[in-house]
Amino acid sequence: MKILQVLTSSLFIAAAAFAQSPEKTKSAESASFPPIRDIHAHVCGIHFYSGDMSRQIIAEHYCSPQPQDVLQCVIYDSNKPGARLIGIEYIVSAKIFETLSPEEKKLWHSHNYEVKSGVLTAPDMPDAAEKDLVKALIGTYGKTWHTWQVDRGDKLPLGIPQLMMAFTADGQAKANIIAERDKLYTPSATKKAARADIPDFKVDTGADSWQKGQALQLDLKTVSVATR
């Protein structure tokens, strides 16, 4: 089933409830922001900086569907008012990922382990709807850039965007980071047990390039100014 179809059906109850909330009503009265109103999915995961797994951060994703098996997400450092916008993630289906060049695939990470481990969760959704959603997400790939390095205490979005990756095996996520995330939502161990019956997805070898010992990360360089 296409990501767009699953996302739409899985989020129907949550989106309808939000549409009737005081917060939604107040926002609608004050302004109209069509792209923002397209956001109907809240997904929480944990990212690490490509090339440096010691730097791990909880990432609150707010996602909207695009046509043809594409999701786009804005990422915040918390789920509270005043949260800082720290990055973006694009998510594509396996069918789309297969069409990418080998070099492009190196920028993307898989979601199989995130789903199976319970690290990835949709906290605002009923359990059944969330399970339908993660069943669709398990075979997808994400390309994530963080623009604000809040984990090092930056008060502004300094420097250049950083490529982020996702975990692929037990023992990679720090215990304190998992514990911090589990305080916010249903514990990941509980989610893991509930998803034991979801089949593993065979991950394309082109994804998760850091596992091959050479992680990609951006570097800033000076170039000559082009003139007409």
d(CA 203, CA 30): 45
**In a 3-state reduction of DSSP, which class is residue 67?**
coil
Stated pTM of the model: 0.86
The larger pLDDT score, comparing residue 199 to residue 228, is at 199
* pLDDT tens string 180-205: 999 999 999 999 999 999 999 999 99
**Ordered alpha helix ranges (H), 76-174:** 94-97, 102-105, 112-117, 127-137
User: Which single residue is written with the structure tokens 């594409």?
Assistant: 70
**Ordered alpha helix ranges (H), the chain:** 3-10, 12-19, 22-30, 34-37, 94-97, 102-105, 112-117, 127-137, 175-184, 188-194
- With 0-12 CB in 10 A as exposed, 13-18 as middle and 19+ as buried, what is 193? exposed
Burial 15-49 (b: 16+ CB within 10 A, else e): beeeeeeeeeeeeeeeeeeeeeeebbbbbbbbbbb
SS3 for 136-163 is HHCCCEEEEEECCCHHHCCCCCCCCCEE
Q: pLDDT band at residue 39, thresholds of 50, 70 and 90?
A: confident
Question: Quick one: pLDDT at residue 31?
Answer: 66
Residue extents of the structural domains in the chain: 3-13+37-198
User: CB–CB of 66/88 below 8 Å?
Assistant: no
* pLDDT tens string 87-126: 999 999 999 999 999 999 999 999 999 999 999 999 989 9
d(CA 174, CA 99): 34
